[in-house]
Structures are given as C-alpha cells and as structure tokens.
Structure 1
Amino acid sequence: MSDSASISWDHLKPRRPSDAERAARQAELVERALAVRLHGWDEYRDVWSSGEVAAVAYLLGDTGLMESLDEHEGSILTRFAGDLYGFQGARKEIESGLLETQAWFAAARAKLAARG
C-alpha cells in the first residue's frame, strides 16, 4: 500500500454554468445574429464552429442553412442544453423536453428583435 495522497477527480466533474455565464452566452449569440443580419453569412460561416453557425441560424429562423448543416431544432436545442446546464443538467433538461433551453432561445429572440 502506498503512502501517497489519493487522487482527486473533482476538477473533472462537469459543472453547471452560472446564470451570468448563460446570460453572457446569450448576449454573444445575439451579437452574432446581428452581425449576420448586417454582413451576411460569408464572413462567419467558416470562422465559427458548425454548432455556433447552427445556433445562430436557429435564432434567425434560417431553416435553409440549418438544413444544409443537417441540423434541426432538436439537435440544436440538445447541444445547447449541454452548454447552458452542464452534463448532468442537460440530461435532466432533455428528459423534461428542453423547455428551459427553448425559453432561453425565446428570450434571445426577444432581445434580437428589440435590437432591430
């Protein structure tokens, strides 16, 4: 038996992002959607990850781009549930029908509409 200290794996456990982190993520997504409205997709589509492009397309209601990415509402909401609520929270969110994630996107759409 070794006298060395036991290994702690706590730093690897998934954590739930804070309300402030979710708000910052929402503000970033709204800003990206505004940029696409102003400049089109050409400047961003190859720079952002496919998940980010899909999320902005979903926020903008760009179903054509979502289809070209082979994405749909369910895949985008499921992916974002993980971003918004962490691994454990996402599992619960998915089981509950992604209602909080849908509400988060609805709030983002409202902020986008208020910005023009």
Structure 2
Amino acid sequence: MEQWEPISFNELSDEIQKSELDLSEELSNFWQLIKIDPIKWSEKDYGDEGGGFWVVALCGDKIIWYNDIEEGFNISNYNKLGEIKDYCCNQDELSWAVAKLFNFIKFGESLIQRTGPQKS
C-alpha cells in the first residue's frame, strides 16, 4: 500500500490554475476578491499528519481549503486565523467550492452542502 503524502505547494498551485480556467466571469471576479496565497492552517482532528491543510481563500468567517487526504476543496468556518474550525471531506473541484461560497453569499446558508463529520 502506498504511503499518503500531503500535496505540495507547486501541485496545489497547478490545480488552482487549472480550476481558474473553469470559472465564469462572475465567479472569476469573486475568486479574485477572496483568493489568498495558499497557506497551511491547523485542523485539530486530521490536520497534524500533513502539517495542516492549505487554505486558498478567505471570505468573512469562511475559508476555502484543500483536503489533500480526500483530494478535494471544502468550505469551512474559522474563528481564529490559522485554525480550521470544521473538518469536511468533500471532494469538490475548486470551481465548485467557489460557486457554493458565492451562492451562499447571494442566497443564504442552506446552499452549502457538506459531507462527513461536523464538529461544533
């Protein structure tokens, strides 16, 4: 069995660049407002092994981050910079996560679908 390796900064950057091509003009404009240089944030339940998870966008009290265990982007809350509050295990493309967050802002909380364990 192959040992799990966390995604590298360069691999993540390539994934982001590919996903940016899939964004509509409206979502691309939104992405330009919320994206940040990827930075690792801690996550208390599953984040220790890989040195944290890459956060790629900040919007209010929400972040978009890459779960490299599940190989997908997620939207979570945070209370403190550098700490992911809610672990999620979606396997979303970045463009899907950006669209979900955009629609959340536009239409409300009920549009963000989550999978996996939810922590309060």
Q: What TM-score, normalized to structure 2? A: 0.28
Structure with a larger share of its residues in helix: 1
Q: What TM-score, normalized to structure 1? A: 0.28
Question: In terms of Rg, which structure is larger?
Answer: 1
Structure with a larger share of its residues in strand: 2
Q: Which has the higher contact order (CA 8 A, sep 6+)?
A: 1
